[in-house]
A and B are shown apart, each in its own frame.
Chain A
């Protein structure tokens, strides 16, 4: 029996290379767990039927003496990343039967290493939400408390890793969609620097914010996947070459900025505040200097940009070339019926809001102003990162909430307060498990978030590994 609880990518690599177990053994163990738990958790929308064939190919490569960090490692893939010949639906009815005609660049990279894809994981439809409750295929449940959400939008990926239904997973992060579910499920999640990981083959939500990122059990595993998928890609025009961002000179003693006024305000759960203060002390005692900083609340700015970009990205789903098609009397009716039947509630809401903020009469007041404010914020962050090396906050102001608890969309948007900033300025950020809080006799995981300046993922990994030794 393989002990999945303590298994990491690094450990599995060593054991696979030593032939202690085979990639097929490992895949079988995960498939058995999936069979046992997925019905309840709803982490996977589809488990691929050729997992063992993929694992067999990995074993053959290992037998030939090949070794890559991810050779034979079973991964879960968010249902928004294209794998040629496989279904990919963005958890939407409008793409229910859509089959990808090419591989995303990151999939090509993972295939080269010989990773094993277990299946595609549940998410909020088109990555719009914070709880996976907006999936057209039912909510994903939190492995720590089945009455609660796993977070979102990459809820299926985070629940799969936390519940031992995958060794690691890939997600996408537009405003916290990798980090927040990672925090809710007690695992590590990274949003890389904007443009660092190719998005060729990622179904777009909000293009100036979207990033693909790994979810894993610890920082080392997260780094292994990041190293495997990062890099410039000519197929993605927003991809950035190495050393694109000017390097900030490294100080001997690293300084962590903490926006205390944002953390001490109303609406931040007292359990979260308490856990956070402990984390700050831990960083302090392991040699980091702590500095009080000011950060603005960026929710309005973030959502205006998100609505605008989502509405234009989702316009392509019209039933003409692929996906759901509803036949009407004429072309206009085809559009109306197809979109009317295919898009879920949150997608419709954001399409309409985006159409509103981009309309001629309101463009300057909303979208134009948001763009200027975004540029202003970027400049502010440049200044800020000349004074501090990292910014520390809780990942979410609250622990995982109960399924159905946040039925008002605005109340859910407000829960993104700590994660959206990194997407607005394009900076990398990581969520690390920091502890638990008790709620109704259940232990709920909590997470902290570290943000660094662009291309400084290395600082996040270093701090993450240090933090793991003290928690």
Chain B
């Protein structure tokens, strides 16, 4: 791992990092990843990942939900006529 990897991960996670924090992060990440690597050695005795988990769906019916629309729209960073306004993406 080097500074380039840290920068790449930060780019993927959309976080701007300060120059002097990159070195610290690299050091921390190296020692943490070095530790959690012991997961490789855990013997799971051919156990397979079959936990029976599935998505939980509900019927597509309207249910009352108590929430405040005003509190939501008030907190939009930018808005126009009650709608959230965002910067163009293309």
Residues of A within 8 A of B (CB): 84-85, 98-103, 234-235, 237-238, 296, 299-301, 303-304, 311, 315, 318-323, 325, 330-332, 334-337, 339-341, 343, 345, 348-349, 351-353, 355-357, 359, 365-366, 369-373, 375-376, 378-379, 408-410, 413
Contacts and interface: CB of A to CB of B under 8 A. Distances in A.
Contact of A355 (B13, B17, B67): B13
B28 to A, nearest CB: 6
Given A339-B13, A373-B42, A366 B6 contact: no
21 contacts: A84-B68, A85-B71, A98-B75, A234-B63, A303-B36, A319-B77, A321-B76, A331-B86, A336-B14, A340-B16, A349-B32, A353-B29, A355-B13, A356-B33, A370-B39, A372-B44, A375-B48, A376-B47, A379-B47, A408-B28, A410-B32
A436 B48 CA distance: 44
Interface in B33-86: 33, 35-40, 42, 44-45, 47-51, 56, 58, 63, 65-69, 71-72, 74-78, 84, 86
B9 A352 contact: yes
A410 B58 contact: no
Nearest to A352: B9
Main SS at interface, chain B? loop
A375 B39 contact: no
A85 to B, nearest CB: 7
A426 to B, nearest CB: 11
A229 B87 CA distance: 42
A235 B66 CA distance: 11
Contact of A102 (B14, B29, B65): B65
A408 B28 CA distance: 8
A337 B17 CA distance: 9
B42 A301 contact: yes
Which 10 residue pairs across A and B have the least CB separation, nearest first?
A340-B16, A325-B77, A102-B67, A101-B71, A237-B56, A336-B16, A335-B14, A300-B36, A331-B87, A376-B47
B72 to A, nearest CB: 5
Contacts of B14: 315, 318, 332, 335-336, 339
